[in-house]
Amino acid sequence: MGDKLISKNKKAGFLYELIEKFTAGIVITGSEIKSIRQGKINFVDSYCVFINQELFIRGLHIAEYTHGGYANHEPVHDRKLLLNRSELKRIQKKVKEKGFTIIPIQCFITEKGKAKIEIAVARGKKVFDKRETIKNKDNKRDNERNRE
């Protein structure tokens, strides 16, 4: 697979239990894709929301392109995500259940040069679940050290 990972939401796996993942296209301008290719994308406090049966991402920060002139973009605004109608219905049905949300996991560039965002339907973890995650990670790290 020739996809190039640009940015990853590292806190997503710790704060949320990821139920189902989807890959979505994103509607962006020319200066935004140039900025993404430079790795100037930030997922902090970003989430997805349905508006009129369409999925939008909110809070996604794409820094202004350094060589952009008067046609530069705003760093934070709602951006439309592109998915199949069946996927949108499946996600919407899942999100209507209590406790589910849609979060971005990572951004990558495909072989054709298109920017894609991987999103997940997720449920927030409780404090004891987070402790369990930390304990498992520590045990895994200790086992790796002991093998060497």
Q: What digits encode the pLDDT tens for the residues 57-69?
A: 999 999 998 887 7
Q: Give pLDDT, residue 21.
A: 94
Q: Where are the domains of the chain?
A: 4-147
CB 125 within 8 A of CB 102: no
pTM value? Answer: 0.82
What is the spatial distance between Cα 145 and Cα 142, in angstroms, rounded to a whole number? 5
Half-sphere exposure of 43 (CA within 13 A, CB side): 20
| 3.40.50.300, 2.40.280.10, 2.60.40.60, 3.40.1640.10: CATH of 4-147 | 2.40.280.10
Q: Give pLDDT, residue 2.
A: 65
Provide the H-helix boundaries in the chain. Answer: 12-15, 30-37, 85-95, 127-147
Q: Give pLDDT, residue 47.
A: 92
DSSP 61-81: EEPPPTT--TTPPPSB--EEE
What is the spatial distance between Cα 75 and Cα 61, in angstroms, rounded to a whole number? 5
Q: What is the DSSP letter of 3?
A: -
Q: Which residue has the tokens 């439309």?
A: 80
Could you say which residues of the chain have pLDDT below 50?
1
Nearest to 80 by CA among 72, 69, 70, 88: 88
